[in-house]
Structure 1
Amino acid sequence: MLTVPCQWNLESIKRIVGLRQSNGIDIGEMYGALSNGITPQGRSLAIAHNTTKENALQIKRILDEHNISFAYLINTPIEIESCRFLDEELEWIINEFKADSLTISSKELMQYIRKRYPDIRINVSTIAGIKTIEDVKSYLSISPAKIIAHHDLNRNFKDLRKVLDYLKNNNMQLELMVNESCLRRCPYREQHYNELGTGNDDRKFHEKCNLIKIQNPYQLLMANFIRPEDLYVYESLGVNLFKITGRSKPIAWMEEVVQTYLNREFKENLMRLLGIDPLLKAEDWIFISNNSLDGFLQHYSDCDNLQQEIKYCEDWIIKLYHNKQFYIDRAMNCQEKNGRLIFEPVNGIY
């Protein structure tokens, strides 16, 4: 089942609903938040898609008619005491908009809401950073319905199996993000989300992390993405919820990516699918043939060993480079040193 971003465009919503399939994977949920609400939504306001409460209610009615649920996002750090009109906002979200669930990162806010709305479904946001059973246990008192995993869990296969078994035994669901492009083991993750909690422009983080990927291109393959063709790898483990990211991307892009994951096939540039800041236009200057990655995930390291992962991804990216299935147009001085591919970026690449 796919969970897809809501970009608050009525005509686009109708088209996306029309993409649904009767066989195989389907669209089960949309997620989003009003950019002009008082609760933080985990995106820079500068690139958020805007709407009105009236338009949001109309969209929610359409989703209800098609049995697509809606997860409302309150998924960045929040100080309840300093958040004015919080109760009023929650009343609108839960009782007027009638969100089917709330996706939240703050444990304090989860506890606050659980006391006031004991029956509302609460999802633990990916921002909470859940990667292990012990991480899950710290949220049991909230009785969450769903855990949206830390993006690193996608490739931590041993922990993923354990978490799946634990959640199944405790009547909770697990959702994995399929096209997140963050660095694996990103050292700036907490800083990034804290910045988003203020509604500020977060482009400096995208620029910093993508520069690391260019200078160390094996990082492009370590970025925890799940290709449309590789959904079955996770389905065979018991994962049945997959989340497409990219709420701030162009509307046409979103429709294309949803269609691609429904079809489970993509023959073009992998970078096109990933939820990178749209202002960077990464697919215009980085190319990775999606077809060339057939078999890549099936042989990925199963022991969460950093050096093994780096070696594996280095070997793959060098192979792709030599086969002209990977290149960076706006880079120079590409060198292969000691089994590593190194690019020196042009000054002002961003």
Structure 2
Amino acid sequence: MFSIPHPGNFESLKIIVNEIKKYRKNKNNKNNKRIKNKKIGDKFEVYLGYADFIGTGRATLYRPSIEDIKRQIEYAHKNKIRFEVAINSACMGALHLTPKGIDYIKNLFKIFADMNLNSITLADPYLIDLANDCGLKVNVSCISLVDSPQKAEFYDSKEVYAITLDSSINRHFDIIENIRDSVSCKLKILVNEACLYKCPMRVQHFNFFSHANIQNIPVLDDYYYNRCISMRVRDKELVIKSPFIRPEDLKEYDKLVDIYKLSGRSHPIGWIKRVLNAYLNRNYDGNLMELLDCPRELESHYYIDNKLLDGAIEKWKTCDKFCNKCNYCKNLAEKVIKVKK
């Protein structure tokens, strides 16, 4: 299954649905047969952020109302597509544990349950318990930083629908394999998020977005993002070390995870279309930077011929990540990354 980022407005959803329809039609024509199983969400889901009282851990382009979301859920279901809402704030300043906060959240979750929302993305264990009480299926957010079998087992014991793994372990195949063996829920993996590997600012950045969304703070700058970009301008091997997964390398994960999640709901729909089609086709000829979320600004600075990375996954699958003893990514960066002029 593919989980597709959705900016939040109805017109963007229509564009995403049309791309899915074209893919299904082409696939059926190639196979000369119909899709065997037509249950909602067998192949696709879309997700959007709802930056309300709880907030989200990412920036958002649009702030859909509850009425907008209900209409979009109905449209997605009509086209046999799951619908998921991300309310995955990393921190709510303890508001979620106040009487007012608890009542508000329970009411919101009941509203979503009545809309037949397929699942909700949450980062806080307490909110997961509340969602379960309201009959909602939960996808554990990547913001929960699930990077070990022990953490995964904790959330799996809550009978969650899925766990989105911390992207930092995308190339730790041994950890993913052990998580797969330890849980019964579905596993999601972010394929095109290219944050810094083991980013030391990740928690602070998620908290920054969470509070900015909840309180609608007029922030002047995003220190963490700017710092992230500047680090990779100075040291381009950090781009190669980012835990992205190329479209061509999805086959290495097919037996380990259930859902490939595309990152980028804060980007324009044209960019999302390009990324979606690249991963659906498991092939991309061009600049890999055009597919990667997070350092999207570097698309105008770096050119990486995606095909030059063919075979690199074999090294990453067995790498122990002790970079001080290995220059593979450094040498690869020198070979494949070109600075645009």
Q: 1:72/1:205 Cα in 2 relative to 1: closer, same or farther (>3 Å)? A: same
Moved more, 224-233 or 138-147: 138-147
Contact 2:194–2:243 (8 Å) recurs in 1: yes
Pick closer, same or farther for the CA change 1:113–1:52 going to 2, 3 Å: closer
Q: Is the 8 A contact 1:288 1:327 kept in 2?
A: yes
Paired with 2:232 and 2:295, the residues of 1 have a C-alpha distance of 14
Question: Which of 262, 274, 283 lines up with 2:299 in the alignment?
Answer: 283
Matching residue of 2:119: 101
Aligned structure 1 segments of 4 or more residues deviating by more than 4 angstroms: 24-27
* More deviation, 225-234/104-113: 104-113
| Unaligned 5+ runs, structure 2 | 29-34, 36-41
Secondary structure of the residue that 1:32 maps to in structure 2? strand
- 1:233 and 2:233 aligned: no
1:187 paired residue number: 200
From 16, 38, 45, the counterpart of 2:53: 38
CA RMSD of aligned residues (A): 2.3
Listed as ranges, the matches of 1:1-350 within 5 Å are 1-20=1-20, 21-22=23-24, 23=27, 27-35=43-51, 37-44=52-59, 47-76=60-89, 77-78=91-92, 79=94, 80-82=96-98, 84=101, 85-95=104-114, 97-114=115-132, 116-117=133-134, 119-167=135-183, 171-198=184-211, 199=213, 203-235=222-254, 237-276=255-294, 281-300=297-316, 302-307=318-323, 311-320=327-336, 326-329=337-340
Q: How many Å separate the matches in 2 of 1:285 and 1:81?
A: 45
The Cα offsets for residues 168-217 of structure 1, whole Å up to 9 and x where unpaired, read as xxx21111101101100111111111111102557321111121122221
Alpha-carbon displacement from aligned partner over 1:213-255 (angstroms, at most 9, x marks no partner):
22221110111111111111111x4323100010110111111
Q: Is contact 2:88-2:122 (8 Å) kept?
A: yes
Q: 2 CA distance for matches of 1:209 and 1:292?
A: 25
- Deviates most, 186-195 or 139-148: 139-148
Residues in 2 aligned to 1:250 and 1:310: alpha-carbon distance in whole angstroms: 38
> Per the alignment, in what secondary structure is the counterpart of residue 7 of structure 1?
coil
SS in 2 for 1:221: helix
Over the matched positions of the two proteins, sequence identity in percent amounts to: 27
Q: Are the equivalent residues in 2 in contact too, given 1:180–1:225 (CA < 8 A)?
A: yes
Kept in 1: contact 2:163–2:187 (CA 8 A): yes
Give the Cα separation in 1 of the matches to 2:49 and 2:326.
Answer: 37
Q: Flag the 1:7–1:310 CA change in 2: closer, same or farther, 3 A.
A: farther
Deviation at 1:52, TM superposition (A): 2.8
One-letter code aligned to 2:321: N
The TM-score with structure 2 as length reference comes to 0.85
Give the residue type in structure 1 aligned to 2:199. C
Relative to structure 1, is the Cα distance of residues 301 and 258 closer, same or farther in structure 2, using a 3 angstrom cutoff? closer
- Kindly provide the amino acid, as one letter, of the partner of residue 222 in structure 2: R
Task: Point out the more displaced range, 269-278 or 198-207.
Answer: 198-207
Cα distance in 1 between the residues matched to 2:325 and 2:68 = 46
Contact 1:6 1:32 survives alignment (8 Å) = yes
CA positional deviation for 1:123 = 1.4
- Structure 1: how far apart are the matches of 2:156 and 2:19? 36
* Structure 1: 5+ residue stretches without partners: 321-325, 331-350
Residue matched to 1:338: none
Tell me the secondary structure at the aligned position of residue 300 of structure 1. helix
Q: Shift in Å at residue 301 of structure 1?
A: 5.0
Indicate if the aligned counterparts of 1:74 and 1:103 stay in contact, CA closer than 8 A.
yes
Distance in 2 between residues matched to 1:34 and 1:56, nearest whole Å: 9
1:12 Cα deviation from its structure 2 partner? 2.6
* Residue identity opposite 2:245 in structure 1: I
Partner in structure 2 of residue 333 of structure 1:
none
- Whichever structure has more helix as a proportion of its residues is 2
Query: Which residue type is aligned with residue 313 of structure 2?
Result: L
1: distance between equivalents of 2:19 and 2:159?
Answer: 33
Per-residue CA distance 1:270-291 (angstroms, 9 max, x = gap): 111111266xx32111211112
User: How far, CA to CA, are the matches of 1:254 and 1:317 in structure 2?
Assistant: 26
Q: 1:138 is paired with a residue of what secondary structure?
A: helix
Tell whether the 8 Å contact from 1:300 to 1:309 is kept in structure 2 after alignment.
no
- CA distances 1:299-345 after superposition (whole Å, capped 9, x unpaired): 2252533227851101111222xxxxx22337xxxxxxxxxxxxxxx
